[in-house]
C-alpha cells in the first residue's frame, strides 16, 4: 500500500535548461519513503530545540522568551523559511511549560507575521527576515536609580521584539513639548513619564495630540486627558497613606513626622495630601520641611525624604548628634534602591515596584492593550525606624 503526500517537487531535467521546474501536487510514495520523510522532519524539529531556550529565573514571560528565541534563531539562519516548528505539545514537553504558554508564543509570532500555520499540520516560518515589529518613543523626566530599574525591566521584557528611542527632558515642560512635537510619526508606542517643575498644568494639551492607541503613561496619570489610553501608574495619595498606616507600630514611639519636600519640586501634590491626611487621622504632629540643611534634628521625630540628596544631608545631621537612628530619630526614604538595604544597617523605604512597572509596560506594548494598571506600593521596614 502506498501513501499520498502533498508537496512541492523540484524537477531537474537531464539536459540543461535555463532553470529548474517546480511542480506542486500530489505524489504517491511507498511506505518506506514516507518513513524516511517522517524521520527527516522529526530530526529537523529536534535540531530546532538546540537553538531555543527559556531562562526559568528571568522575569520576562516565558511565551515572550520563546518568541524572542525563535526570532533570534531565524535571524542567525539556524531556522529557515518554510521550516516546520515543533508542535505545541512537543514544546510543552521539551521546556516543561504549559501548553497555553507555548501556544501564546506561537500566536504572538503569527500575529506579527513571523509564523504561519496550517490546520492539522502546525506552525511554520513564514518570514525569514523578521523586522522589528515595535518602535518605541520612550520619554523619561530624568535618570535615577529607580528609573533605571524601570528602563532595564522594559528593555529585558521587550527583548528583540522592539527598538527603543530613549529621551530625557529633565522635568522641563518646554523641552518635553518640543520632543513630542518633533517626534517621528512612525512610532508604534509613546511611553511617557509626565513630571514637571513648572508648566505641568498644560501637559494634557500636549499628550492629547498623541493617538490614544499608541500612548502609555508611566508612573503618573495626568488630569484633562481625553479618550482611552494605556497607563501603568502610582496612586500617590493612597500609596503614602497606606504605607504609613502599615508602619503605625513602629511610628508609635515618635510624636512628630516631618516630610522633606524642596520648594522647587516635580513631585506630585498628592503625596503631601496623603501625608497630611494620615497625620491628622492618627494625631501626629507634622511639618513640611523645604530645606533639611537648616532644620534642627530632635528626638522623637521621624523624617520622610523624597530626594536622594536630602537623605544624605539628613543622615549626616543625625550622625553628628548622639542620637541613635531607629531609636531616638526615625528615617523613612522614598523609593527602594539597593544601597538603602545596607546604609547604616538598612533604611526603611516606601516604594512602588519599579521592576513590575517596566514589565507591565512591556506587556501593554506587546499585547496592544490600553489597560490602566495601578502598581502596588510597599513598606520595607529596616533599622532606621
* Mean of pLDDT values over 38-58: 65
DSSP conformational letter for 183: S
Check pLDDT > 60 for residue 82: yes
Dihedral (CA of 198, 200, 205, 207) sign: positive
Q: What's the CA gap between 16 and 362, in Å, rounded?
A: 55
Q: Give CA 147 to chain center in angstroms.
A: 11
Q: φ and ψ at 22, to 5 degrees?
A: -95, 130
More confident residue, 208 or 108: 208
* Mean of pLDDT values over 353-374: 93
Q: What is the dihedral of CA 290, 292, 294, 295, to 10 degrees?
A: 100
Count other Cβ atoms within 10 Å, centred on residue 272: 17
SS3 content of the chain, % helix, strand, coil (to 5): 40, 25, 35
Q: Which residues pair with 124 in a beta bridge?
A: 84, 116
Where do the H-state alpha helices sit in 138-296?
145-158, 173-181, 203-207, 236-246, 248-251, 269-281
pLDDT tens digit string along 8-19?
333 333 333 343
pLDDT tens digit string along 288-303?
999 999 999 999 999 9
Q: Are 284 and 251 in contact (CB under 8 A)?
A: yes
Q: What's the CA gap between 275 and 253, in Å, rounded?
A: 18
Q: Are 222 and 203 in contact (CB under 8 A)?
A: yes
Helix (H) or strand (E) holding 260, with range, is: strand 256-260
pLDDT tens digit string along 260-295?
999 888 888 999 999 999 999 999 999 999 999 999
Residue 383: predicted pLDDT: 95
Check pLDDT > 60 for residue 29: no
DSSP conformational letter for 84: B
Which grid coordinates belong to 266? 516635580
Question: How, if at all, do strands 256-260 and 348-352 pair?
Answer: unpaired
Q: Which domains does the chain have, with CATH numbers?
A: 50-125 (1.10.10.10), 135-235+355-376 (3.40.50.2300), 237-353 (3.40.50.2300)
pLDDT tens digit string along 221-259?
999 999 999 999 999 999 999 999 999 999 999 999 999
Q: What's the CA gap between 377 and 239, in Å, rounded?
A: 6
Among 102-111, 126-135, 141-150, the minimum mean pLDDT is found in 126-135
- Ramachandran region, residue 263 (left: φ > 0; alpha: ψ -120 to 50; beta: rest): alpha
Sorting pLDDT into bands at 50, 70 and 90, what band is 323? very high
* CB-based contacts of 176-179 (< 8 A; 24+ apart in sequence): 176/139, 176/141, 176/203, 176/206, 177/206, 179/139
Q: What's the CA gap between 195 and 180, in Å, rounded?
A: 14
Which grid coordinates belong to 69? 528565541
Which grid coordinates belong to 236? 500617590
Q: Are 136 and 162 in contact (CB under 8 A)?
A: yes
pTM, two decimals, is: 0.67
Amino acid at each position: 500500500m502506498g501513501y499520498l503526500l502533498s508537496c512541492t517537487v523540484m524537477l531537474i531535467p537531464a539536459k540543461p535548461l535555463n532553470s529548474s521546474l517546480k511542480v506542486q501536487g500530489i505524489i504517491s510514495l511507498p511506505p518506506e519513503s514516507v518513513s524516511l520523510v517522517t524521520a527527516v522532519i522529526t530530526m529537523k524539529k529536534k535540531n530546532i530545540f538546540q537553538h531555543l531556550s527559556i531562562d526559568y529565573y528571568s522575569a520576562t514571560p516565558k511565551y515572550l522568551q520563546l518568541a524572542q528565541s525563535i526570532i533570534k534563531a531565524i535571524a542567525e539562519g539556524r531556522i529557515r523559511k518554510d521550516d516546520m516548528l515543533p508542535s505545541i505539545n512537543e514544546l510543552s514537553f521539551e521546556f516543561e511549560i504549559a501548553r497555553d504558554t507555548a501556544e501564546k508564543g506561537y500566536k504572538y509570532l503569527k500575529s506579527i507575521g513571523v509564523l504561519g500555520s496550517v490546520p492539522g499540520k502546525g506552525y511554520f516560518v513564514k518570514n525569514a527576515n523578521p523586522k522589528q515589529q515595535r518602535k518605541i518613543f520612550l520619554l523619561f523626566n530624568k535618570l535615577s536609580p529607580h528609573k533605571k530599574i524601570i528602563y532595564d525591566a522594559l528593555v529585558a521584557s521587550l527583548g528583540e521584539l522592539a527598538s527603543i528611542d530613549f529621551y530625557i527632558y529633565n522635568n522641563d515642560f518646554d523641552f518635553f513639548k518640543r520632543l513630542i512635537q518633533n517626534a517621528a510619526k512612525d512610532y508604534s508606542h509613546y511611553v511617557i513619564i509626565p513630571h514637571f517643575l513648572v508648566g505641568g498644568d498644560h501637559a494634557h494639551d500636549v499628550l492629547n495630540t498623541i493617538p490614544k492607541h499608541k500612548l502609555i503613561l508611566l508612573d503618573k496619570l495626568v488630569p484633562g486627558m481625553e479618550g482611552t489610553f494605556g497607563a501603568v501608574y502610582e496612586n500617590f495619595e493612597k500609596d503614602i497613606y497606606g504605607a504609613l498606616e502599615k508602619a503605625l507600630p513602629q511610628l508609635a514611639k515618635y510624636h512628630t513626622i516631618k516630610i522633606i519636600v524642596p520648594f522647587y519640586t516635580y513631585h506630585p501634590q498628592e503625596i503631601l495630601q496623603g501625608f497630611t491626611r494620615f497625620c491628622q487621622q492618627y494625631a501626629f504632629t507634622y511639618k513640611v520641611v523645604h530645606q533639611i540643611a537648616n532644620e534642627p534634628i530632635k528626638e522623637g521625630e521621624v523624617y520622610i525624604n523624597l530626594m536622594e540628596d536630602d537623605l544624605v544631608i539628613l543622615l549626616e545631621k543625625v550622625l553628628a548628634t548622639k542620637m541613635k537612628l531607629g531609636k531616638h530619630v526615625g528615617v523613612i526614604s522614598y523609593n527602594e534602591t539597593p544601597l538603602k538595604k545596607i546604609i547604616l544597617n538598612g533604611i526603611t523605604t516606601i516604594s512602588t515596584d519599579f521592576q513590575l512597572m517596566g514589565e507591565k509596560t512591556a506587556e501593554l506594548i506587546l499585547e496592544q492593550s490600553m489597560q490602566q494598571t495601578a502598581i502596588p506600593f510597599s513598606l520595607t521596614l529596616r533599622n532606621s525606624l
